Amino acid sequence: MSDTTEGAFVEFSRVQKSYDGETLVVKDLNLTMPKGEFLTMLGPSGSGKTTCLMMLAGFETATHGEILLDGKPINNIPPHKRGIGMVFQNYALFPHMTVAENLSFPLEVRKIGKSDREAKVKRALDMVQMGAFGGRRPAQLSGGQQQRIALARALVFEPELVLMDEPLGALDKQLREHMQFEITNLAHSLGITTVYVTHDQTEALTMSDRVAVFDDGRIQQLAPPDQLYEAPQNSFVAQFIGENNTLTGTVTEVNGEFCKVKLDDGEVIDAKAVNIDGVGSKTQVSIRPERVEYNSERMAEGVHTIKAEVLEFIYMGDIFRTRLRVAGKDDFVIKTRNAPDQVRLKRGQQIEIGWLPSDCHALDA
């Protein structure tokens, strides 16, 4: 993706936000989005992601910095003139209006003629497969149906940018997965630029073109989902996205892309030098559970092995999940696929485990 501001559709430039004049909720935010991108802001609550969304929508003003939409600064444009579609956490469907009236509302305030309006409402309802529900009140619909209507309402006036604030938070798991799929499909097929806020990492990974991981008022990493997972830039991202094993140690040697790390129990391992300060610095080494191998037959050439004791073995159907004591830490988890030839470990068993140095990231401590 392009890092220049040229051709950026949405741009945050050195944006700061403070509510009380003492602490910054958003610290020096810089972000650019090209047209048509589906970007997710992911982070724990209080990380500043929703504030960013609200600043973009115009419900909060930036304390400092500029927000540009299609190249124009929008700081002083009131929300109703920004032309941004928005889907709210609890849908915010107007309870005193029918579904069709809800959809018609943004068209009415834009003074669109009646026949035009009806056509657009019908199209939008069909788009979310809710064509038959125009006469109902929101309270008569199920959660999923309300969600679709909220989506249709945000899209019916054909905005170029749509913001979604945890829109699937209130749905059950199955429906949520189904809606994730529908929303991404819709966004891509209509070519809309979407900013999506969630604290659910699965949602972020499955839906987005790029994910911005927020913490402490900053973007910790902005990257496509696969990079985020496989090449986390720092230990927060590594911890926050997916399951992760960490071992702490000290860097003893740096060899270009790789380095050697002396773990707390004295063992020395090879790791990819991603985010370290040089020799002698403390580091956290991150290894994904599914990249660890204990079956010596499957282990690749040149893999460094290390001793481990099985503390727990859990049969989970498609995978086995094993908790080990490694380098004095007893929360080291590995996941292995349930294959016909796979060895099932027993509690108390002493084994050797190993991984590729490229799967092992030395990050900030």
Partner 1 sequence: MTDRTTGPDQMTGATPDNGMRNANRANGKPGPMLSADGTPLKRSLRRAQRRQKIRALMLIAPLLIFVLLTFIAPIADMLFRSVQNQIVSDTLPRTVASLERWDGQSGEVPDEQTFRALYLDMFIAAERKEHTRLGSRLNYELTGVSSLFRRTGRDVDDFGEVYEDAFNDLDPKWEDPTTWARILGSADWVGEAEGAEAPGPDFELRDDVASYLPLTAELYGIFAEFIQTEDGDSPMEEEPWTLVYTALYWDLQRQGFAYSGPEADLVRAAAQAASGFENVSLKALFIDSDKDWGDPEVWATIKTYAPEYTPGYFLNAVDRQLTPDGVEKRPANEQIYGILFQRTIFMSLTITISCILLGYPVAYILANLPMRTANLLMILVLLPFWTSLLVRTSAWKVMLQQQGVINDTLVWLGLVDDASRLVMINNQFGTIVAMTHILLPFMILPLYSVMATIPPSYVRASKSLGATNWTTFWRVYFPQSVPGIGAGSILVFILSIGYYITPEIVGGTTGTFISNRIAYHISSSLNWGLAAALGSILLAVVLILYYLYDRIVGIDNVKLGG
Interacting residues with partner 1 (CB under 8 A): 57-59, 78-86, 88-90, 92-96, 105-106, 109-110, 153-154, 157, 163
Helical pair 173-190 and 143-155, crossing angle rounded to 10 deg: 20
CA–CA dist 297, 342 (Å, integer) = 10
CA–CA dist 155, 70 (Å, integer) = 18
Nearest to 282 by CA among 235, 329, 238, 325: 235
**Nearest-approach distance from CB 9 to partner 1, in angstroms:** 18
Nearer to partner 1, 163 or 351 (CB): 163
**Nearest-approach distance from CB 28 to partner 1, in angstroms:** 26
Fill in the DSSP letter of residue 291.
Answer: G
Q: How far is CA 329 from CA 205, 264, 283, in A?
A: 29, 10, 16
| Token output for 60 | 């909060």
**Nearest-approach distance from CB 79 to partner 1, in angstroms:** 4
Rounded to 10 degrees, what is the CA torsion of 118, 120, 121, 125?
A: 140
**Nearest-approach distance from CB 50 to partner 1, in angstroms:** 12
Nearer to partner 1, 19 or 181 (CB): 19
Position of tokens 């060899």? 255
Spatial contact of 221 and 233, defined as CB atoms under 8 Å apart: yes
**Nearest-approach distance from CB 233 to partner 1, in angstroms:** 33
Nearer to partner 1, 154 or 360 (CB): 154
Helix (H) or strand (E) holding 105: helix 99-109
Nearer to partner 1, 84 or 310 (CB): 84
CA–CA dist 278, 241 (Å, integer) = 25
Nearer to partner 1, 104 or 235 (CB): 104
Nearer to partner 1, 101 or 200 (CB): 101
**Nearest-approach distance from CB 123 to partner 1, in angstroms:** 17
**Nearest-approach distance from CB 80 to partner 1, in angstroms:** 5
Nearer to partner 1, 104 or 208 (CB): 104
Spatial contact of 311 and 329, defined as CB atoms under 8 Å apart: no
Judged on CB neighbours under 10 Å (0-12, 13-18, 19+), 277 is exposed
Amino acid identity, position 117: R
